[in-house]
Amino acid sequence: MNKIIIKNANIVTESEVFTGDVLINGEVIECIGRNIDCPDAEQIDASGRLLLPGAVDVHTHMDLDVGIARACDDFYSGTVAAVCGGTTTIVDHMAFAHEDVSLMHQVEEYHRLADGNAVTDYGFHGVLQLMNDDKLAEMRAIAEREGITSWKAYMTYGANMTDDEWLFKVLRNANEAGLVIPVHCENDAVVETLKAEFGAAGKLQPRFHPLSRPAGAEAEAVSRLLHLARLAGDAPAYIVHLSAAESLKEVSKARHAGQKHFGVETCTQYLALTDAAYDDDSEGLKAIMSPPLRRDSDCSAIWAALAKGGMIDTIATDHCPFTFGEQKQLGRSDFRKCPNGAPGVEERLGVVYSEGVAKGRISLPQMVKYLCTEPARIFGLYPKKGAVLPGSDADLVIMDPDAKRIMSIKDMHTACDYTCYEGIELTGRIEKVFVRGRLAAENNEFTGSRGYGQYLRRGVSSLI
Residue 247 binding target from Zn ion, ligand URP, none, CB below 5 to 8 Å by type: none
In the complex, minimum distance from the CB of residue 240 to ligand URP, in angstroms, rounded to a whole number: 8
Q: Is 60 in the site for ligand URP (CB under 6 A)?
A: no
- Nearest CB to Zn ion, comparing residues 123 and 428: 123
| The one among 320, 351, 352, 426 contacting ligand URP by CB under 6 A | 320
Of 110, 117, 171, 163, residue with least CA distance to 139:
171
Alpha-carbon distance 124 to 147, whole Å? 9
| The one among 340, 392, 419, 461 contacting ligand URP by CB under 6 A | 340
Contact call for residues 351 and 304 (beta carbons, < 8 A): no
- Nearest CB to ligand URP, comparing residues 20 and 284: 284
Q: Is 289 in the site for ligand URP (CB under 6 A)?
A: yes
Instruction: Name the DSSP letter for residue 383.
Output: T
Contact call for residues 398 and 46 (beta carbons, < 8 A): yes
| 15 burial level (CB within 10 Å; 0-12, 13-18, 19+) | exposed
| 425 burial level (CB within 10 Å; 0-12, 13-18, 19+) | exposed
- Bridge partners, 430 (sequence order): 399
- Nearest CB to ligand URP, comparing residues 25 and 290: 290
| The one among 92, 265, 318, 355 contacting Zn ion by CB under 5 A | 318
Q: Is 395 in the site for Zn ion (CB under 5 A)?
A: no
In the complex, minimum distance from the CB of residue 185 to Zn ion, in angstroms, rounded to a whole number: 12
In the complex, minimum distance from the CB of residue 183 to Zn ion, in angstroms, rounded to a whole number: 11
Q: Is 318 in the site for ligand URP (CB under 6 A)?
A: yes
Q: Is 265 in the site for Zn ion (CB under 5 A)?
A: no
Tally: H helices and E strands in the chain: 13, 17
| 67 burial level (CB within 10 Å; 0-12, 13-18, 19+) | exposed
Of 336, 433, 341, residue with least CA distance to 120:
433
- Nearest CB to ligand URP, comparing residues 169 and 213: 213
Q: Is 284 in the site for ligand URP (CB under 6 A)?
A: no
Q: Is 298 in the site for Zn ion (CB under 5 A)?
A: no
Phi and psi dihedrals of 111, rounded to 5?
-60, -40
In the complex, minimum distance from the CB of residue 26 to ligand URP, in angstroms, rounded to a whole number: 36
Q: Which helix (H) or strand (E) holds 167?
A: helix 164-177
Which range binds Zn ion by CB under 5 A, 31-39, 76-84, 317-325, 362-370? 317-325
Q: Which residues bind ligand URP (CB under 6 A)?
A: 61, 64, 289-290, 318, 320, 340-341
Residues at the interface with Zn ion (CB under 5 A) = 318
